[in-house]
Homo-oligomer: A and B are copies of this chain.
Amino acid sequence: MTFKRLLFGRPLKSEEAEGEKMPIWKALPILSSDALSSVAYGTEMILLELATVGAFAFSFSLPIAAAIILLITILIISYRQVIDAYPQGGGAYMVAKENLGVMWGRLAGVSLLIDYTLTVAVSVSAGVLAITSAFPALAQWIVPIGLLFTWFMVWMNLRGTSESGNVFALPTYLFIFCMIALVGKGLFDWATGAGSAAYRVSIPTEIPASLTWFVLLKAFSSGCSAVTGIEAISNAVPHFRNPAQRNAKRTMLTLGALLAVIFGGVTILSQAYSIQPDPTGTKTVLSMVAADAFGRGVFFYIIQFATMLILILAANTSFNGFPILASIMAQDKNMPRMFSNRGERLAFNYGIITLGVLSSILLIVFRGRTEALIPLYAIGVFLSFTMAQIGLVLKWSREKSQKWKRKAFINGVGAVVTFFVVIIFSITKFQEGAWIVIIITPLLLLLITQINHHYQNVAKQLKVDLTAPIETADTVIIIPVAGIHKVVVSTIAFAKSLTPNVVAFYVAFSPEDAKKMEEKWEKWNPGVRLVVVVSRYRTVIKPLIEFIGRAENRYGKKMKITVLLPEFITRKWWHRLLHNQSAFRIRAILFARKDVVVATVPFRLND
């Protein structure tokens, strides 16, 4: 117990939930590291797509970035409206469920859960890649290092939101500081013509014939990876300190401004420094921009280090988003019930551990290769964006409140654009792995629908007429015995205290064995009948089940049959492995096959 406390901290009272809630300065790093980290590779994604046509196309990165910043603006405005409309959290799931129907809500929820899982795998792999680029000797340990990071985050989050916020705040702020310094210095140099930022940034006025719209669109959708993570804030409104809504909206606005400045700035600078993306991925565009702006000095390495940290920390946004979303869905019976239980530290332990397990599986299966995971990523987020925005359009046009036409227009544009990104993504990345997501999403949707049906069926079955009298029945207690020793004595004593109908049941493996046991029992005479069965298989379970079947036939439904099984309680934990194996098996099989009560009688061993 002391060990557990040391590991996870003391249990928290429900009232302490408020203390666990996040002020803006903590919420920003916890909920935005995913979106911010995307900036680290957003520009690069665009340039790499354009590079497939030729270096002349690079100048198109500016209008594309402008379009993406416009998209960010639309999404920020839209999600601020989501926060206002659904302050209980749940984001796209809630909006879709309320306005489009339960199935669409589930689809939005499932898409987001898948994407949260992918975010962990992608960002941990990317972070580990940054480390192994610096220390190539570690390259063979990519998966173990990734698992280590993942489970470190599981651990931190099990300790509770507040503490994990403390741990994760510093690196995020370091990254923000570095990026603003980078963009500021770079743009200043560019404006004044100082340093190496000598190139003129040109905005293309017409599209050359060799540059197809398809390539431009693909570049646009690749750059949209910089947008993922925005929705995390709207899911987590209940985790904000009061006034939760206002704080969440402010955080959203801050995030939007940071994204626009950093993403836009880096894209302009990549033009100003006339940077060529490195298709081998050894040097990132961001690192080249940093090198040109500051030279390869101390600050360059600080930027590299901060980038590595933020990439890993991006996973932490999911560790916040996934459990909250799962708990909200569980309250609606759209996820297994336990996801809505808070642990001793007020965290949603099941959600956190589930996310840890699933992303570990992804890390192992894809061997921590970022480039293999990226094509699976972002479809889910954009699908949920689309549904949230359609949902809001319907909401506005139904409610017809003030300025509803403007609101509906904004969300309508957002819906079209994000849906468009989903389509481009699905088509252009289908072969590279998007098909996996396209197959898994409906399967999970089906699973969740069945879970919901099951819970609803159970609720129906549990309904009871409280005016009906309670009918009791007689009980027969069966005690399987393996011989005559202290445990048998105490179990029989317990059984006799409950009912006079007690039968001991012994399985002999040979007739001689049977005779010996019968004689011994008669001599002892505990006042309980012994039934001996000779079995040629080496198991007690089959004869026991047959015996119960005979008893059921004889006494019918009026008798309730109870089987007593002793269980050894050992002092040292590992001694447990030395006992009770048969009792466990008998218990599991009896439960599956027979309608009997199984009672476990503890027997405490001294050593």
Interfacial residues, chain A to chain B (CB-CB below 8 A): 11-15, 336-338, 341-344, 346, 451, 454-455, 457-458, 461-464, 466, 470-475, 484-489, 492-494, 496-499, 509, 523-524, 526-527, 536-539, 560, 562, 567-569, 575, 577-579, 581-582, 587, 591-592, 595-602, 604-607
Contact = CB atoms under 8 A, between A and B. Distances in A.
A457 B570 CA distance: 12
Contacts of A595: 602, 604
B486 A463 contact: yes
Given A337-B581, A341-B538, 9 more contacts: A344-B537, A462-B485, A470-B496, A473-B494, A562-B599, A567-B591, A595-B602, A599-B599, A599-B600
B597 A598 contact: no
A369 to B, nearest CB: 12
B474 A462 contact: no
A484 B538 CA distance: 44
Contacts of A457: 605-607
A33 to B, nearest CB: 28
A338 B581 contact: yes
Nearest to A477: B498
Nearest to A535: B14
Contacts of A489: 464, 470
A597 B606 contact: no
Contact of A493 (B341, B470, B527): B470
A454 B607 CA distance: 7
12 contacts: A13-B537, A14-B509, A14-B536, A336-B577, A338-B582, A457-B607, A461-B486, A462-B487, A466-B484, A470-B489, A591-B602, A597-B599
B15 A536 contact: yes
Given A11-B537, A14-B537, A601-B597, A497 B560 contact: yes
A14 B458 CA distance: 44
B592 A569 contact: yes
A606 B496 contact: no
A470 B536 contact: no
A493 B509 contact: no
Contacts of A579: 337, 458
A498 to B, nearest CB: 5
Given A599-B597, A601-B597, A497 B485 contact: no
A499 B592 CA distance: 27
Contact of A464 (B458, B485, B587, B600): B485
Given A336-B577, A475-B497, A602-B596, A526 B344 contact: no
A451 B496 contact: no
Given A486-B463, A526-B470, A494 B560 contact: yes
Contacts of A538: 14, 341-343, 346
A596 to B, nearest CB: 7
Contacts of A560: 494, 497
A523 to B, nearest CB: 7
Contacts of A475: 494, 497-498
A29 to B, nearest CB: 27
Contacts of A577: 336
A399 B73 CA distance: 96
B497 A474 contact: yes
A17 B354 CA distance: 45
A524 B498 CA distance: 26
The 8 closest A-B pairs by CB, nearest first: A599-B599, A462-B485, A472-B497, A13-B536, A464-B486, A498-B498, A338-B581, A457-B607
Nearest to A459: B485
A337 B578 contact: yes
Nearest to A492: B470
Contacts of A602: 591, 595-598
A62 to B, nearest CB: 42
B338 A494 contact: no
A82 to B, nearest CB: 28
Contacts of A493: 470-473
Contacts of A539: 344
A494 B575 CA distance: 34
A474 to B, nearest CB: 7
A336 to B, nearest CB: 5
A606 to B, nearest CB: 6
The residue in A15, A538, A581 that gathers the most chain B C-beta atoms within 10 A of its C-beta is: A538
A573 B153 CA distance: 32
B606 A461 contact: yes
Contacts of A567: 591
A16 to B, nearest CB: 9
Given A475-B497, A498-B499, A599-B600, A485 B509 contact: no
A538 B348 CA distance: 12
Contacts of A599: 562, 597-600
Contacts of A497: 472-475, 560
B596 A597 contact: no
Contacts of A592: 569
Nearest to A607: B457
A497 to B, nearest CB: 4
Contacts of A596: 602
Nearest to A464: B486
A591 B493 CA distance: 19
A28 B524 CA distance: 51
Contacts of A606: 457, 461
A488 to B, nearest CB: 8
